[in-house]
Amino acid sequence: AFFIFWLVRRASGSESVATFVTLPALVFYLLLVEDRPPIERAVWMVSLYLLARLLFRQVHLANPVSLAALVVLFAHPLWLFEPSFHLSFGAVFLIAFFALPWIERTSEPYRNALGFLDAEERDEQLRPPHLVQFRLDLRLLAALVSGVAFWARDPERGARALLTRLIRIGLRAWDFFLLSFAIHLGFVLLTAFYFKRVIWAGLLTNLLVVPLVSLIVPLGLAALLLGLLWLPAGALPAAMVGTLTGLLLWLAETIAGAGLSYGIPPPPLWLVVLYLGALVLLGVAVTRASRRLRDWAGLALAALVLVVATYPFSPQAADQALEVVVLDVGQGDSIFLAFPNGETWLVDAGRGPLEVGPGYQIGEAAGETLVVPFLRQRGLKRLDRVWLTHAHHDHMGGLPAVLKEFGVGSFHVGRNPPSARYQELLEEVRRRGIPIERHQAGEHFAVGGVEVQILWPAADYEPGPEPSNNDSLVLRLCLPAAAALPHCLLLPGDIEVEVEKRLAQGTASLQAEVLKVPHHGGRDAASQEFLQAVDPDVAILSVSATNPFGHPFERVLDRLRDETEHTYRTDQDGSVTVRLETDGFQVATYRQRQRREPYPNLWAQLAACARRLLSLESF
């Protein structure tokens, strides 16, 4: 819009003509990109702003933007709870209430003072006096460097023109920095809240990337239109677009790789309210030019930025219980455990990683898209122990993303053959300085009052040349109970029927009230002998609704119905949470937390959206 408006106004000299040419161009662009919500919001904002300029001499940016927000929400009320709505309108409000007042008080007076520098009689009209001194200093400097303007008939006047142009460029750069800084004030909160990241690189990236985008978009449209008329005519702008886009991606990737971005748990609601309050207070101070209020509000906001960026809060605790969350990661396993003493474990991390190339993304990324966000939402910045049951893709693939985002106290494995991906994972663990511990049957230790036993692999077990399900670590965790028997959880990985039989016939107890069903309910999983030895009350299947293997098999489900009271499936119930306590256990699923009945009115539905936004229900 800026490009078309500037071009037409320069050509026609009329702001009205420029406006009424720009508006249809915006509608055309909206239709071209399939009416996506961010573009629709931008079209409304720009259109109302340009129309408002035709009615008033000066337009406060917040007024047409507020009207655009009301129009958009009238048509799409639920957009109020979408991150992209907050990001797009938040950016413009931050510009209106922070950047523009700062520009008016810093660079704008100097920009005005640069006008008609040769007209000394204008000096007396300027206020305050330092602007007059600024003009006098420029004339003096121009006289000293007049030899630089050798091309001009009047070297001194040429030097003044050169200095004026250079200073205007510097002032524009300062304006753009203020715009980026003002947006960044709000986006520190928004990116931490929605994306669980603090991105200091954004301030620097915007300064370099936004000017490139302002060239890429009109050049891309020009290439498209010219190519429709005559294909060779679109070749030159298309080549320019390709070059500029390559530069943009290189800049973004280079800055992103500089370590200026890191994951962080999302701020709690009370901190969000305080941060927004400090932003509003600072906006009022900046608008009213109240220096004292500005100083106090600025200090408060700086302190809150520090709190958001460091998250100095304790993670969500298990409250004297062993909490187990079987995450819904599709066809794979990922299990989070929180112990009564606050220690946290992660057992496997699902499939992955996502493979990204020029113009494509393939594969699943459970680690990046499911496991890491869940752990962040729990308020975690590190994990005490990470366990890999065995070296299959659907258990191991998401672990690199976890290792990248979280500090890890120790990494635990069983006996796995040295496959290429497994060795790469171990190398990554060693590179990060994480100690690796290998386990076998017979080991036992206590964590926060919870007894942990390693039941498999046996001391005489030798893995084959390739990773197999029977390589799986089998863990039994028991919380002492007030009654005679403890409350136990059995995590058998993907063991198959021969290992199930050996464990059932062994001397170690398998009894557990909660069983994570082995091998996702595969053909011979959870054999009758194994289930009788475990005697579970609850069975949990981690499985994808669209898996190509037919998991879980119906005969496995029949056995589970016969031998257990409840069977839960992540493909139907979502993530399953179990709390083992001294007096029993509780099970909750994502599905159980969902409302079955329709909402009585729109406001009740909006309130429910807000509650979901601020809760863990998405997991």
CA distances from 35 to 31, 32, 42, 69, 98 (A): 6, 8, 11, 16, 30
Give the strands of the sheet with 514-516, arranged side by side: 444-447, 450-456, 474-479, 487-491, 514-516, 538-541, 566-569
CA distances from 599 to 76, 606, 616 (A): 17, 10, 21
Q: At what angle do helices 201-229 and 2-12 cross, to 10 degrees?
A: 60
Q: How confident is the model at residue 359 (pLDDT cuts 50, 70, 90)?
A: low
Q: With 60 as the cut, is the pLDDT of residue 296 above it?
A: yes
Helix, coil or strand: residue 87: helix
Q: Of 503, 557, 548, nearest to 525 (Cα)? A: 557
Q: What average pLDDT does range 409-423 have in this prediction?
A: 94
Q: What average pLDDT does range 38-51 have in this prediction?
A: 87
Cα 47 off chain centre by: 30
Q: What percent of the chain has pLDDT over 90?
A: 50
Q: Of 350, 462, 351, 387, nearest to 417 (Cα)? A: 462
Mean pLDDT: which of 5-9, 607-611, 612-616 is highest?
Answer: 5-9
Separation of alpha carbons 383 and 400, rounded Å: 14
Q: Of 454, 453, 443, 479, nearest to 318 (Cα)? A: 479
Q: What integer pLDDT is reported at residue 115 of this predicted model? A: 82
CB 544, CB 331: distance < 8 Å? yes
Q: What integer pLDDT is reported at residue 619 of this predicted model? A: 40
Q: Specify the long-range contacts of residues 586-589, CB closer than 8 Å, at least 24 apart.
A: 587/514, 587/538
Separation of alpha carbons 370 and 328, rounded Å: 8
- Torsion from C-alpha of 462, 467, 470, 473, nearest 10 degrees: 90
Residue type, 21: V
CA distances from 119 to 139, 180, 196, 224, 598 (A): 11, 35, 55, 47, 72
Q: How confident is the model at residue 159 (pLDDT cuts 50, 70, 90)?
A: confident
Q: How confident is the model at residue 286 (pLDDT cuts 50, 70, 90)?
A: confident
Q: Could you tell me if residue 258 is left (phi over 0), alpha (psi between -120 and 50 degrees) or otherwise beta?
A: alpha
Work out the angle at residue 488's Cα, subtended by the Cα atoms of residues 486 and 489, and round it to the nearest 5 degrees: 175
pTM over 0.85: no
Q: Where are the alpha helices (H) located in 515-573, listed in sequence order?
A: 528-534, 554-563, 570-573
DSSP assignment, residue 314?
Answer: P
Residue type, 381: K
Q: What integer pLDDT is reported at residue 617 of this predicted model? A: 44
The token duo for 35 is 């009416």
Cα torsion angle, 67, 70, 71, 72, sign: positive
Separation of alpha carbons 14 and 593, rounded Å: 59
Q: What average pLDDT does range 530-558 have in this prediction?
A: 92
CB neighbours (10 Å) of residue 41?
24
Q: What integer pLDDT is reported at residue 80 of this predicted model? A: 86
CB 193, CB 272: distance < 8 Å? yes
Q: What integer pLDDT is reported at residue 616 of this predicted model? A: 45
Q: What integer pLDDT is reported at residue 60 of this predicted model? A: 82
Separation of alpha carbons 79 and 609, rounded Å: 10
Q: How confident is the model at residue 607 (pLDDT cuts 50, 70, 90)?
A: confident
Determine whether 258 is exposed, middle or buried from the number of CB atoms within 10 Å of its CB (0-12, 13-18, 19+).
exposed
Mean pLDDT: which of 46-50, 425-429, 506-510 is highest?
Answer: 425-429
**How high does pLDDT run on average in the chain?**
88
Residue-wise burial string across 223-252, b where 16 or more C-beta atoms lie within 10 A, e elsewhere? beebeeeeeeebeebbebbeebeeebeeee
The token duo for 186 is 């709000």
Separation of alpha carbons 266 and 422, rounded Å: 32
Q: With 90 as the cut, is the pLDDT of residue 338 above it?
A: yes
Q: With 90 as the cut, is the pLDDT of residue 477 above it?
A: yes
Report how far apart the first and last C-alpha atoms of the chain are (Å, whole number). 40
Cα 539 off chain centre by: 33
Q: What integer pLDDT is reported at residue 546 of this predicted model? A: 85
Compute φ and ψ for 490, nearest 5 degrees.
-115, 125
Give the residue, 58 or 100, on which the prediction is more confident.
100
Q: Of 122, 151, 150, nearest to 136 (Cα)? A: 122
CB 160, CB 144: distance < 8 Å? no
